[in-house]
Structure 1
Amino acid sequence: MPKILQHTGGDAVEVILADHRWFEEALRELRDETSDRAAVLADLATVLVAHAEAEESKVYPALRRTNAIDEEEVEHSEHEHDEGNEALLALLEVDDPASEEFSEKEHELSEALSHHLDEEERDVLNPARTDVDEEVRRQLGAEFAAERARLIDEDCGRIENVRRIVKEAEARRKS
């Protein structure tokens, strides 16, 4: 099982990319029927929620202020986080990690997450590299890492919290 990365800072782009590679490894572990799928899922849920929440509260607003990305890109990325959270919740609600249902829901999460990682790396992180000063990216990396660590310490990936996040996203969409 991949060990949860504990970032202390650095260039925000590199810190986010390290999480992306970690997600890919965790998804590979979830597909492996011989792995401890429940433990991998618990770690993935925690890191995925912490990562997305820290991006939305620290990274996206800063990139928007520097005009590296526009409001439409922020909204699109947040929408993809919502879709990922919905897929994550569906997987967390499967009782048997050895079941076909678990495999199906893991596939749905994998597709949603892979799509988001690809788009974010192209449409958010590339402009961050080229349009944001290195010192700003380092400061942003420290802020992202601190918020991510705080959320991990709060066990933000527990199913009750994921349900709350999904419910709040549904309410935002209706308003």
Structure 2
Amino acid sequence: MSSTDVVELILQDHRRMEDLFRTMRNVEADRAAALAEFADLLIAHACAEEDEVYPALRRYKNVDGDDVDHSVHEHREANEALLALLEVGDTASEEWQDKLEELVTAVNHHADEEERTLLNDARENVSDDRRAELGRAFKESRAQYLKDGCGGVENVRKLVADADD
């Protein structure tokens, strides 16, 4: 049975993103397919966190609201880096490689910080039952974003533009 603990679900997504980075770095792999899966996963994951998880965590006095705000800011940075990579046509080009490394840096920095701050705070301060509720809401929201093809370049462009407003 798969976990419904929101912390475990978020960690599973982080590990899958790392796997996809390895695939995208592999010159023999289908980099475009890996990028398409990664884009959908990153956007669905971040949007579901912002819709379902972050607002709930903000309500806990032992969860730092500044950490939540910082995570939202880092989602914006990751979206910008993702868009830059999506807009490079040739997956064999030096530019693609450079933009991929910028994306890897942004996402890995965020995942590392989130795991050390927000997720540990959630483990310590949020009951198992509540984490399971949040996990179900996160999974449902994430699934809807994935169903809607949220990682397409036009949607990512819109998310980046909306964040600038």
Matches within 5 A, 1:85-164: 85-164=79-158
**Counterpart-to-counterpart distance in 2, 1:9 and 1:86:** 31
Are 1:44 and 2:38 an aligned pair?
yes
Q: Give the aligned partner of residue 26 of structure 1.
A: 20
1:66 is displaced (CA, Å) by: 2.3
Tell me if 1:69 matches 2:56. no
Runs of 4+ residues over 6 Å off in structure 1:
none
Q: Structure 2 unaligned runs (5+)?
A: none
TM-score (norm 1): 0.92
Q: Report if the CA contact (8 A) 1:9-1:145 is conserved.
A: no
Aligned twin of 1:57: 51
Q: 1:8 to 1:165 in 2, by over 3 A?
A: farther
Cα deviation for residue 148 of structure 1 reads: 0.1
- 1:99 positional shift: 0.6
Unaligned runs of 5+ in 1: 1-6
Structure 2 length as normaliser, TM-score?
0.97
RMSD over aligned CA atoms reads 1.3
Post-superposition CA distance 1:101-153 (Å, at most 9, x none) = 10000000000001000000001000000100000000000000000000000
For 1:59, the aligned partner's letter is V
3-state SS in 2 of match to 1:26: helix
- Per-residue deviation at 1:74? 1.4
- Relative distance call for 1:19 and 1:165 in structure 2 (3 A) is same
> Aligned in 2, Cα 1:57/1:8: closer, same or farther, shift over 3 Å?
farther
Query: CA separation in 1, counterparts of 2:119 and 2:145?
Result: 22
Report the number of matched residues.
Answer: 165
Q: Any conservation in 1 of the 2:63–2:125 contact (CA below 8 Å)?
A: no
Identity across matched positions, percent: 52
Tell me how far 1:75 sits from its aligned partner.
1.1
Residue in structure 1 matched with residue 4 of structure 2 by the alignment: 10
How far off its partner does 1:72 sit?
A: 1.3
